[in-house]
């Protein structure tokens, strides 16, 4: 496993980070989830990402149990705040001081730890003054409950404003967690250049495009039983944007590139996002331990420039590049 610095901080994280969105506490039984975490640890992954909203707090509980007994100083544990949790009361959502202060305590209890290494704003809150949010994060850091602060799916302008306030308030905003893959490159024109300028790294989610870039979905064919495209607990909705025959056909054109590098299609997809020097880590999830074992083999892989060009040519116009898609992923008002 290779390790990279997160932003301009001194914190190193595993460049393949284990994420438990859409799995722990919902799609995967607890024993299987624990087996996946053990496989991650056994294969060099030290960084684990979750959020309070995943399975309405259950994912944090499962991860905390799975990591119990591990040397805390050898781990990097990340979580997030914003989306509704609990009974979804009027203050159980957003980035108000009240919600942040209550949420960090809940997350620490569920994760069975005294602090998280990174606490992330899961979306931008249009209904809370940014200064209130950043002051609350500053107090979380000063209280020792989080070491660093990050954001997720913020626009370049929002990142710049948040970074300026973090500087004024004396803490480090060091990361951005956006969706990024060969098929979804909306951060490249604005978010990445701004982040690079400010000393902020990307921790990217869905590098395999919800499994589409694994090549297991064939154009014109019914999705395999048990795959994410058949999941009625949220997986099928998330993957639907890519389940089009023109996309699936272009993805199959990547197979010769993967074969040339002696990689699986999924490994190629993970290695591709790690080629971006502003990406500190690719988030991968798993429902079976063997998926973790295969995914970590993408660590340290370098794709030659000529093959990167072939990937671009193979995918062509199906790639989504519109920077406005970042803002579109955040609610205009707080969800209820």
> What does the mean pLDDT of the chain come to?
92
pLDDT of residue 287: 84
What is the per-residue pLDDT across 279-293, written as a single tens digit (0 to 9) for each? 999 999 888 899 999
pLDDT of residue 178: 98
- Alpha carbons 160 and 41: distance in angstroms, whole number: 35
Token output for 318:
């199906």
pLDDT of residue 21: 80
What is the per-residue pLDDT across 2-49, written as a single tens digit (0 to 9) for each? 999 999 999 999 999 999 886 655 556 778 888 999 999 999 999 999
**Res 246 pLDDT > 80:** yes
Q: Evaluate whether residue 334 is within a structural domain.
A: no
What are residue 151's DSSP bridge partners? 121, 176
Could you give the percent of the chain with pLDDT greater than 90? 81
What is the per-residue pLDDT across 140-179, written as a single tens digit (0 to 9) for each? 999 999 999 999 999 999 999 999 999 999 999 999 999 9
Could you give the percent of the chain with pLDDT greater than 70? 93
Q: Evaluate whether residue 65 is within a structural domain.
A: yes
Q: Evaluate whether residue 68 is within a structural domain.
A: yes
Q: Which of 18, 54, 148, 180 is catalytic?
A: 54
pLDDT of residue 88: 80
Q: Evaluate whether residue 133 is within a structural domain.
A: yes
pLDDT of residue 226: 60
Which CATH number goes with the domain that contains 44? Answer: 3.20.20.100
CA angle (273, 274, 280) in 5-degree steps = 115
Mean pLDDT score, 233-243? 70
Host domain of residue 57 = 3-328
Give me the number of domains the chain comprises: 1
Q: Evaluate whether residue 333 is within a structural domain.
A: no
What crossing angle do the helices spanning 97-111 and 130-142 adopt, rounded to 10°?
40
**Res 247 pLDDT > 70:** yes
Q: Evaluate whether residue 335 is within a structural domain.
A: no
pLDDT of residue 24: 53
Q: Evaluate whether residue 30 is within a structural domain.
A: yes
- Alpha carbons 56 and 231: distance in angstroms, whole number: 18
What are residue 19's DSSP bridge partners? 49
- Alpha carbons 8 and 6: distance in angstroms, whole number: 6
Active site residue 124: no
Strand (E) or helix (H) holding 55:
none
* Cα 171 to the center of its chain, rounded Å: 22
pLDDT of residue 162: 98
What is the per-residue pLDDT across 299-334, written as a single tens digit (0 to 9) for each? 999 999 999 999 999 999 999 999 999 999 889 999
What is the per-residue pLDDT across 254-275, written as a single tens digit (0 to 9) for each? 999 999 999 999 999 999 999 9
Q: Evaluate whether residue 336 is within a structural domain.
A: no
Taking the alpha carbons at both ends of the chain, their separation in whole angstroms is 40
What crossing angle do the helices spanning 245-252 and 305-315 adopt, rounded to 10°?
150
pLDDT of residue 234: 56
């Amino acid at each position: 496993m290779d390790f990279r610095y997160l932003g301009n901080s001194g914190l190193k994280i595993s460049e393949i980070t284990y994420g438990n969105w859409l799995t722990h506490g919902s799609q995967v039984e607890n024993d299987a989830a624990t087996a996946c975490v053990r496989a991650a640890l056994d294969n060099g992954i030290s960084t684990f990402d979750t959020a309070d909203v995943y399975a309405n707090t259950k994912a944090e509980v499962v991860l905390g149990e799975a990591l119990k007994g591990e040397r805390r100083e050898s781990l990097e544990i990340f979580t997030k705040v914003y989306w509704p949790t609990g009974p979804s009361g009027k203050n159980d959502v957003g980035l108000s001081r009240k919600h942040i202060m209550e949420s960090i305590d809940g997350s620490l209890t569920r994760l069975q730890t005294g602090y998280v290494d990174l606490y992330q704003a899961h979306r931008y809150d249009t209904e809370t003054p940014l200064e209130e949010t950043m002051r609350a994060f500053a107090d979380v850091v000063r209280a020792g409950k989080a070491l660093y602060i990050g954001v997720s799916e913020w626009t370049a302008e929002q990142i710049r404003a948040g970074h300026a306030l973090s500087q004024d308030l004396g803490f480090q905003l060091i990361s951005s967690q956006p969706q990024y893959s060969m098929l979804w490159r909306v951060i490249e024109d604005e978010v990445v250049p701004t982040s690079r300028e400010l000393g902020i790294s990307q921790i990217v989610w869905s590098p395999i495009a919800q499994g589409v870039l694994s090549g297991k979905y064939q154009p014109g064919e019914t999705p395999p039983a048990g795959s994410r495209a058949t999941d009625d607990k949220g997986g099928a909705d998330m993957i639907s944007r890519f389940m089009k025959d023109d996309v699936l056909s272009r993805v199959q054109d990547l197979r010769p590139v993967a074969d040339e590098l002696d990689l699986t299609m999924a490994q190629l997809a993970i290695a591709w996002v790690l080629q971006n020097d502003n990406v500190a880590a690719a988030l991968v999830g798993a429902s079976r331990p063997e998926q973790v074992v295969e995914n970590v083999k993408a660590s340290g892989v370098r794709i030659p420039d000529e093959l990167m060009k072939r990937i671009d040519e193979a995918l062509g116009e199906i790639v989504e590049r519109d920077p406005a898609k970042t803002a579109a992923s955040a609610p205009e008002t707080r969800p209820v």
